[in-house]
Structure 1
Amino acid sequence: MSTATLPSVRGKLTPSAPLAPLVWFKSGGAAEWLFEPKDMADLQGFLRELDPAVPVMALGLGSNMIVRDGGVPGVVVRLGKAFARVEQTADLTLNCGGGASGILVSSTARDNGIAGLEFLRSIPGTVGGFVRMNGGAYGGEVKDILVDCDVVLRDGSLVTLPVADLHYTYRHSELPEGAIVVAARFRGKPGQPDAIQAEMDRISASREASQPLRSKTGGSTFKNPAGHKAWQLVDEAGCRGLQLGGAQVSEKHTNFLLNLGEATSAEIEALGEEVRRRVKEKSGVELEWEIQRVGKK
């Protein structure tokens, strides 16, 4: 796909863009094209004019993702500052850009005396990512606070979807294929900023104590099966500290995989599959990936 066949943009369009620096694992190949739109009109116009056969994928902070070593075909869209604003729009409701971080959203909620969004402090991603995945932690889930979201569909049209249309289940939504979340409204409940900050501090301290946050990791690797904790099943299968090439199961939290330095995405994914095999053998439980795996092997 040459530049000549792509629509013109006002933002930034980069061919063969390395994705490893943009994802937490710091591994994987390049995007055929990386598009960073200047604003909403730029994004809509580009998608409207782009050949419908070209695949499109949104990328947030890349925290819960393995980009395979063969790279990602088509266009990867990354929302920048123009999509990162958060503001109070109505009583106890925040309008959040798709590129805004969980930390910015929870801090803005605190400043406006809105409780119930503290758990977003601990989700290392953007609004677009955790709306798509029904992100959750520490007793909260996006489905509990989402009013509705604005998405740009693959044909460039902008639609608003109420929470009911996403058919949320555990770490899953039925967002249309190729849709990019550009904004979302979250509603909380009344709270005191001091108490909200205290809860955010508690969550941060708990996360720091239990998770390998200073490492190249992808966050929670596997979904918790009904009635089980994924980390416990992994531990009981003898996988704590298990290593394959440059990839390792974290000794601090066994539902985290680590890139010890120069791991390939193939090694990280193969280690995850080996963990799944051992857990199935030991407990009979089939672990499901929570981490998105994208691109060509």
Structure 2
Amino acid sequence: MRCDHAPGSDEGQQGSVGHVPQDTRGDLTKKAPLAKLVWFKSGGAADWLFEPADMEDLTSFLSALEPGTPVMALGLGSNLIIRDGGVPGVVVRLGKPFSSTEVKRDCVIECGGGAPGILVASAARDAGIAGLEFLRGIPGTVGGFVRMNGGAYGREVADILVDCDVVMPDGNCVTLPVGDLDYSYRHSRLPEGAIVVAARFKGDPGDPEEIGAEMDRIADERENSQPLRTKTGGSTFKNPEGGKAWQLVDKAGCRGLELGGAQVSEKHTNFLINHGDATSSDIEGLGEEVRRRVAEATGVNLEWEIKRVGRP
């Protein structure tokens, strides 16, 4: 459902995070531990964690927050370091009510912001829609990879997105066409705190068996080349223009480098691993040390692809 705007709150409902609308139906948790919700399994707590019951619940809740309250969306937590001091304000986690997929006309599929990439790719396969297979290789949800122009295997979200529904931190909802996102490599112009609640992707007619075979190839390649069965966060650094981050990390001698409980993966050097007792400070510190060594060895300043949020 496309949205132009959502109604603001009544004046009497304005207040701090702790003063929520009487009819809030989702789960609201104070000082909620986030480590269990992210792939690295490290980091502090959210001041508040809100899991809305539906779209109306989300917009009503946000419109009642005190203006300026920090808001952050959390998907699968695959491309994220939650710092050890926790996250200020409100973390919004879109669950099952935002995970639907629906096939539309002209090879368009509409997806909730909480739908995982593998679910979207599978729905497209079953409907005979080609061109979305690469989403099988993105370990995140629609909201996350629309925001960061996620990509893999030669394609990115900018190639398939039609438009998306976005709830702003004040509760207002707008539908933005792909051109308004000003996409570049792993970047969009969406403001901080904006939450992608739905998106529409367009593919091309295809054969479900061929689409499924390509998805299987992507899954096998990821399994064979990436440390998927560890506590990791996905690709750590953006690929510099004309190069590969993992090759630069390798050239700088960082394969297997450790700091505290964190390590540069031996299997794929653009992945960091939590061996079980790493703090987020260990992980981020190791990433910064890799950046320093790569710059010293190659002259290239690697940029973080993993998002780092919260208090140190």
Q: Normalization by structure 1: what TM-score?
A: 0.98
1:31 is matched with 46
Task: State the alpha-carbon separation in 2 of the partners of residues 52 and 4 from structure 1.
Answer: 13
Determine if contact 2:47/2:90 at 8 Å carries over to the other structure.
yes
**One-letter amino acid of the counterpart of residue 5, structure 1:** H
Moved over 6 A (4+): none
2:20 is matched with 6
Unmatched segments (≥5 aa) in structure 1? none
Q: Does 1:77 align with 2:92?
A: yes
**One-letter amino acid of the counterpart of residue 262, structure 1:** D
3-state DSSP class of the match of 1:208?
A: helix
Quote the offset at 1:53 in angstroms. 1.9
1:206 to 221, 240, 264: 221
**One-letter amino acid of the counterpart of residue 112, structure 1:** A
Q: Residues 4 and 181 from structure 1, CA distance in 2 versus in 1: closer, same or farther, beyond 3 angstroms?
A: closer
1:102 to 104, 117, 123: 117
Q: Does 1:171 align with 2:186?
A: yes
Task: State the alpha-carbon separation in 2 of the partners of residues 286 and 148 from structure 1.
Answer: 33
1:92 is matched with 107
**One-letter amino acid of the counterpart of residue 175, structure 1:** L
Quote the offset at 1:89 in angstroms. 1.5
Cα deviations across residues 70-92 of structure 1 (Å, max 9, x unaligned)? 00000000001110000102220
1:150 is matched with 165
Q: Does 1:261 align with 2:259?
A: no
1:189 is matched with 204
3-state DSSP class of the match of 2:46?
A: strand
Q: Residues 113 and 241 from structure 1, CA distance in 2 versus in 1: closer, same or farther, beyond 3 angstroms?
A: same
2:299 is matched with 284
**One-letter amino acid of the counterpart of residue 237, structure 1:** A
Q: Does 1:222 align with 2:222?
A: no
- Percent identical pairs in the alignment equals 74
Quote the offset at 1:176 in angstroms. 2.3
3-state DSSP class of the match of 2:120?
A: helix
Q: Does 1:126 align with 2:141?
A: yes
1:138 is matched with 153
3-state DSSP class of the match of 1:90?
A: coil
Q: How does 1:225-240 map to 2 (within 5 A)?
A: 225-240=240-255
Task: State the alpha-carbon separation in 2 of the partners of residues 184 and 245 from structure 1.
Answer: 40
Q: Residues 4 and 204 from structure 1, CA distance in 2 versus in 1: closer, same or farther, beyond 3 angstroms?
A: closer
Quote the offset at 1:178 in angstroms. 1.3
**One-letter amino acid of the counterpart of residue 19, structure 2:** T
Q: Residues 223 and 3 from structure 1, CA distance in 2 versus in 1: closer, same or farther, beyond 3 angstroms?
A: closer
Task: State the alpha-carbon separation in 1 of the partners of residues 17 and 39 from structure 2.
Answer: 29
Task: Name the count of aligned residue pairs.
Answer: 297
